[in-house]
Amino acid sequence: MSLRHQPVRTCIGCRSRDDQANLVRWSAVSRSGVTVAEVDHRRQLAGRGAWLHPRPSCVELALKRKAFNRAFRGVVDSQSVEQWLHTLRGTS
């Protein structure tokens, strides 16, 4: 049995460290001159990434603290994050 190294990232919501596999990566994408937070399903989008647990409590904390603005070092439209939170609440 071989143990493979699992990258560790920090959730921008709860600020706890976890394996990368347990977190969702978000990227800042420019759309019509506005920077938008977007889920990076393949984890391959260019630029800075923000990591977040797929739990409503972590998403709420990240939005409350404006953690996406801090993580992406600028003002980010987090409307897509709020929509994602709504879908998480619907499935939990």
- CATH number of domain containing 45: 3.30.1230.10
pLDDT in tens, 43-69: 999 988 999 999 999 999 999 999 999
Residue type, 44: Q
Is 76 inside a domain boundary?
yes
Q: Evaluate whether residue 2 is within a structural domain.
A: no
The values of phi and psi at residue 26, to 5°, are -115, 145
Q: Which of 53, 45, 54, 32 is nearest to 72 (CA)?
A: 45
Domain count of the fold of the chain:
1
Considering the domain boundaries, does residue 46 fall inside one? Answer: yes
The pTM (predicted TM-score) of the whole model is: 0.87
User: 19-45: per-residue pLDDT in tens?
Assistant: 999 999 999 999 899 999 999 999 999
pLDDT digit string, tens, across residues 68-89: 999 999 999 999 999 999 999 8
Domain range for residue 59? 8-91
Instruction: Flag whether 3 is in a domain.
Output: no
Residue 74 lies in a domain: yes
Residue 80 lies in a domain: yes
pLDDT band per the 50, 70, 90 thresholds, residue 1: low
Return the amino acid letter for 66.
K
